Structure 1
Amino acid sequence: MSERAVLGRTGDLISLDIANVLWADLTADSAVPTASGVFTCPPADARAGYILLGSHVVTMVKASDGRWSVPESEVRRAAAGLNAVEMHYQDLVRIGPFRSTPQQARDEGVLLHWRRRVTRQVQEPGDPGRAAPRDDSRPCHLAGIDWRRVLVEQTREGAVRTWWLPRAVVRLLDAAEHAETQWLHAARTRQATAVVTEQPCHHRQARAADSRQTAGPEGPAAPLRPYNGELGGQLYSVLSRKPGFSRKVAQWTCAVCRTAPATVLDHCHEHGYVRAPVCHSCNTQERPDHLYSNDIRVASHYRHLFHTHTDHWLRHWHRCPGCRARTTLPLPHLAAWTAYIACRSLRPTHRASRGREPCGVLRVSWTGSQNAPRSCLLTVAVDFCPSGEHRVLAQVPYREAAGQFRTWLAETAPAVAAAAGPDRLDDLPARPRPVIADTTGEGLALF
C-alpha cells in the first residue's frame, strides 16, 4: 500500500489523479477486481458531478481554478464496502444475450445501464452472439469494477454463446444502478427546491419540510422499505402496464435476500399472480435454466433453493395464490424439484479425487403441460456422463410428482405446508384468473 494511502487525512479533498492511486491501493486485495484510472477514464465524467464506485456514489467538487477533486473519506468508504464483498467465481449469473432486453421507464434517470453497456462492448458488429476480442490495454470498468476480468463466455449446442458474471458482481452493479437513480432523484429535488426560494414564506416552509424527506446528493436518499405483501393477489399483467411502476418497484428491498434494491417484479408465469419485487440476482437464482420451452438443466444453485434456504424459497413461490392453493410449484420448478430431490437416489455416482461425485448434469424434460395433468410426463436424464453410460433415469407422471412434492413439503417445511392447500383460499382475489384447467375433463380431484 502506498504512502499516500496510509497517511492521507480522511475528509480532505484530493485531486482525481491522487484518487486513482488511492482507489487502486485500497482495493488491491479485494475479491472483486477493480480497474485503474476509474476517476479519469470512461465512463467516468467529472461534469456529471459524481462517480459510481461499487454501490457508493462519490461526489465530485470543482474548484475555482476549474480542477476537479473528490472527498477522500468517500473514496475510502466506497473501497471499504467493496473489500467487504465475498465472491464465489463458480456462482455465475447469465447476463446475456437475451431475446429481448427489459425496458426501463424513461423518467428513471438511470445512466449506468450496465447490462446494455456490457452487451454493446462484447458483441461484434453483425454477430449478436459472439463476444468481441478483449483489448486489455483499453480501460474498461463499470462502477470501478473491471468486469472483463471475470466475464465468462459459454458455448451451448456448438453455436449459441452466452455471457456470465459472478453473482457478487451482478449484485454490486445492480446496487450501483439503484444508487445512481436515487442520487439523481435527490439532485432534482434539491434543484426544484432552490427554484421556489422567491415564493412567499409559508410556501417555502412547506417545500422545505417536503425536501427533508429525501436527502441531498451528499447523503443517502430515502431509505428502501421492506416488502410486506402489498402486491399480494394482484395480476402481473395489470400492474406491469401502469406508468412509472418500475420506479415504484425500486423503492422496495428485494423480498428474497432483503438486502439489495428490488429491480423486477417476480411473478408466476403459469398463474399470472405477482410474487414479490426482487433484485436481478435473486430473480436469476430462482429461474430454471431452460434449454427449450419444455427442457431444463437442473443448475447447481438448486441445492440452496431446496436445502439451505428451503423454507424461505418455498414461501416465496407460494406467494402465488394459485401455487399455494394447490400445494404445488410451477411446472419448471416442480420438474427441477423432481429431478434433484425425488430422483436423487437414482442418480449414479462416479469415483473422483474426493470420494464419489454425482454423475454428469441432471436434465428434465416434459411432454404436455400442467393444464392436462393426465398426459403430462416428466423425463429425468443425465447429460455429460464421463463414461457415457447413463441417459434416462426415470419417467414420472405429473400427478405422481405433485403428490411427492406435497409429502416432501409437509416433512421439510411444515409451516409452509400448513398455509397451503385447497381450503386456504381466504386471500384469493374475488375474481381470480382461471389458474389451471384440466382440458381432458378428467382428474379434477388433483386440484
Structure 2
Amino acid sequence: MSERVILGRGGGLISLGAADALWAGLTSDSAVPTATAAFTCSPASAWAGYVLLGSRVVATVKAGAEQWSVPEIEVRRAAAALNAVEVDRRGLVRIGPFRGAPRQGHREGTLLRWRQRIARELQEPVPDRAAEGDGVWPFHLAGIDWRRILVEHTQRNEAGSWWLPRAVVRLLDAAEHAERQWLLAVPQQGGEAVTEPPFSHGQAQAADGRETTSADCPAATLRLYDGELKGQLYSAVSRKPGISGKVAGWACAVCRTAPAAVLDHCHEHGYVRAPVCHSCNTQERPDHLYSNDIRVAGHYTRLFDTDVADWLPHWHRCSGCRARTTLPLPHLAAWTAHIACRPLRPAHREIRGSRGRKPCGVLRVSWTGSQNAPRSCLLTVAVDFCPSGEHRVLARVPYREAVGQFRTWLAETAPAVAAAAGPDRLDGLPARSRPVIADTSSEGLALF
C-alpha cells in the first residue's frame, strides 16, 4: 500500500516511501521521465547518507533502528529544478558502446561513471518484475528513468549504438559531478552514513557559515574558464599531473552550465580550445564521418545559426584557426555545404497537397587533397537520398575559395571574432598542419 504524502510539511522529514510518492507526483509532468522508486530502488541507497535527484544531492537521515527519512523541502527543490529542464528529443548524444570493456572501480550504489553503468545494465536481461508490466524498473539514474528515453540505432551487420537527449546527458553529468563533490566533502567513516545534510549541487557556503542556494545555476560552484590554457598544445597539457582534476573544476566553456569533463582541442593544429562537458564535446559530431567525407546533418543549423555566438569563439580559441581565420577542414567543409551552398540546394514540393517545399535529400561533402596543400584541395558538395532518385553534385569549391567565403561570412556574423584573427599572428604556429584524423568510436569521443 502506498503511503499518503502529507502536503505542507516542507520543513519536516518524510519516510522513503513517502518521498518516492512525492517525487513521482511532483515530476509527473516533467519533460524528463522519472522513476517511481527513486529512493528505494538501486542505485539509490539510503544507508550511503544521500540520494541523487536530478543534479541535486539530497541527504538521508537515520531516524531509528531501521528507519530512514529525507527532508521534504529538499525533495521539492530537486523536483522544481528537474521540472525546469527543457528536453529536445531530436538532439541526441551517443553514450555507447565504445571500444574497450567498461572500467570498474567505482563504489556500488553510486552514480559515478553513469555511462558504464548503463552499458552494464543494457547487457543484462530485463528483470522479471519490469517485464511483468508493473511499471517499476529496478534501476534508474538520479531518479531519472533513462530507459524510457534511450534511443538505439542499429545498422546492418554492425553493432547498435545508444543515444540520450543532450539535456539528459548534461543533467547526468551534473549529477555525477555533484556526487563526486559530495563524496570528497563528506567522507564515509566505518561504513556509517553521515546524517548531516551536505551541500547540494549548486549550493555554496557564505563566510559566516550560512548556506546559500543557487538552484537555477547548476555550475555555481565551478569556476569559469578564462583562457588559462590559451595557446598551449594539447599533447603537452594532457600529460601534466592532476590535469583531469583541474578540468573537472571548470564549468563547460561553451554551455557554461555543466561541469567540464574533457579538454576540447583542435586535431588539425593541436592547440587546446577549452574545457567542455561531454554533451558539448559531441555536439559538433556529424552523422557520418570518414577520412574525407562527412554527411551534413540538421544539427549544423544550430552550430552555424542559432548557437553561432557560442561556437565561433570556441573554435577560434585554437591559435592555428584564429591566425589563419579559418576552421579545421571538416568544419570548413560542413560550413561550405550548409551555408555557402544553401542557395544551390534543390527543393521538392511536399506530398499530399502541402504548399511548402522541402529541401532535397541530405547534404554530403567530401574533399580531395588536404589543408596542407591548399592549391590542390577541392571540396565537393552533393545531395544524397534525393526523393526523385537523383544524386546530384551541387558545387565543387576550391579550398582557398571556401576559406575566403568563410572569412567574409565571419566578418559579418561575428565581427569581434574576425577582428581577433588575422595573418599577423602566425608566429609560433606549426609550419604544416597535421592531417585530419577521424575517430568516431573511441571512448574519448575525439574528433577532427
What TM-score range do you get, normalising by the shorter chain? 0.7 to 0.9
Describe the shift of the 1:96–1:55 C-alpha distance in structure 2 as closer, same or farther (beyond 3 A). same
Tell me the equivalent position of 1:322: 320
Amino acid at match of 1:79: A
Q: Does 1:395 align with 2:396?
A: yes
Tell me, in whole angstroms, the C-alpha distance in 2 between the residues paired with 1:228 and 1:190. Answer: 38
Of 269, 273, 285 in structure 1, the residue corresponding to residue 267 of structure 2 is 269
Shift of 1:155: 2.6
Tell me the equivalent position of 2:362: 361
Any unmatched runs of 5+ in structure 2? 191-204, 436-448
Tell me the equivalent position of 1:445: none
Q: Does 1:254 align with 2:246?
A: no
Tell me the equivalent position of 1:444: none
Shift of 1:367: 2.3
Contact 1:186 1:215 in 2 (8 A): no
Matches within 5 A, 1:420-435: 420-425=421-426, 431-435=428-432
- SS of equivalent to 1:229: coil
Q: Does 1:33 align with 2:30?
A: no
Q: Does 1:62 align with 2:62?
A: yes
Shift of 1:436: 2.5
Matches within 5 A, 1:22-171: 22-99=22-99, 111-123=111-123, 135=131, 138-156=137-155, 159-171=158-170
Tell me, in whole angstroms, the C-alpha distance in 1 between the residues paired with 2:55 and 2:344. Answer: 45
Amino acid at match of 2:170: R
Amino acid at match of 1:418: A
Tell me, in whole angstroms, the C-alpha distance in 1 between the residues paired with 2:399 and 2:207. Answer: 52
Contact 2:32 2:82 in 1 (8 A): yes
Shift of 1:222: 8.2
Describe the shift of the 1:243–1:188 C-alpha distance in structure 2 as closer, same or farther (beyond 3 A). farther
Tell me, in whole angstroms, the C-alpha distance in 1 between the residues paired with 2:330 and 2:342. Answer: 17
CA offsets 1:268-299 (integer angstroms, 9 cap, x no match): 01111100111111111123344323221212
Tell me, in whole angstroms, the C-alpha distance in 2 between the residues paired with 1:227 and 1:105. Answer: 30
Q: Does 1:313 align with 2:314?
A: no
Shift of 1:122: 2.3
Contact 1:262 1:277 in 2 (8 A): yes
301-310 or 150-159, larger mean C-alpha shift? 150-159
Tell me, in whole angstroms, the C-alpha distance in 2 between the residues paired with 1:379 and 1:166. Answer: 32
- SS of equivalent to 1:7: coil
Tell me the equivalent position of 2:230: 232
Contact 2:237 2:243 in 1 (8 A): yes
Describe the shift of the 1:310–1:27 C-alpha distance in structure 2 as closer, same or farther (beyond 3 A). same
Shift of 1:8: 4.0
Normalised by the size of structure 1, how large is the TM-score?
Answer: 0.82
Q: Does 1:179 align with 2:175?
A: no
Tell me the equivalent position of 1:406: 407
311-320 or 393-402, larger mean C-alpha shift? 393-402
Tell me, in whole angstroms, the C-alpha distance in 1 between the residues paired with 2:396 and 2:156. Answer: 24
Describe the shift of the 1:141–1:177 C-alpha distance in structure 2 as closer, same or farther (beyond 3 A). same
372-381 or 174-183, larger mean C-alpha shift? 372-381
Contact 1:140 1:148 in 2 (8 A): no
Shift of 1:327: 0.6
Tell me, in whole angstroms, the C-alpha distance in 1 between the residues paired with 2:105 and 2:21. Answer: 37
Aligned-pair identity (%): 72
Contact 2:127 2:138 in 1 (8 A): no
Tell me, in whole angstroms, the C-alpha distance in 1 between the residues paired with 2:10 and 2:303. Answer: 43
Shift of 1:32: 0.5
Q: Does 1:338 align with 2:336?
A: yes
Amino acid at match of 2:183: L
Tell me, in whole angstroms, the C-alpha distance in 2 between the residues paired with 1:166 and 1:11. Answer: 34
Contact 2:247 2:261 in 1 (8 A): yes
- SS of equivalent to 1:162: strand
Of 278, 281, 284 in structure 2, the residue corresponding to residue 280 of structure 1 is 278
Tell me the equivalent position of 1:16: 16
Tell me, in whole angstroms, the C-alpha distance in 2 between the residues paired with 1:354 and 1:57. Answer: 51
Shift of 1:307: 1.2
Structure having the higher helix fraction is 1
Describe the shift of the 1:17–1:345 C-alpha distance in structure 2 as closer, same or farther (beyond 3 A). same
CA offsets 1:8-45 (integer angstroms, 9 cap, x no match): 40121111111111111111111110011111111111
Describe the shift of the 1:175–1:364 C-alpha distance in structure 2 as closer, same or farther (beyond 3 A). same
Q: CA RMSD in A?
A: 3.4
Greater relative contact order (CA < 8 Å, ≥ 6 in sequence): 2
Describe the shift of the 1:381–1:326 C-alpha distance in structure 2 as closer, same or farther (beyond 3 A). same
Tell me, in whole angstroms, the C-alpha distance in 2 between the residues paired with 1:214 and 1:250. Answer: 27
Tell me, in whole angstroms, the C-alpha distance in 2 between the residues paired with 1:263 and 1:229. Answer: 16
Q: Give aligned pairs, total.
A: 408
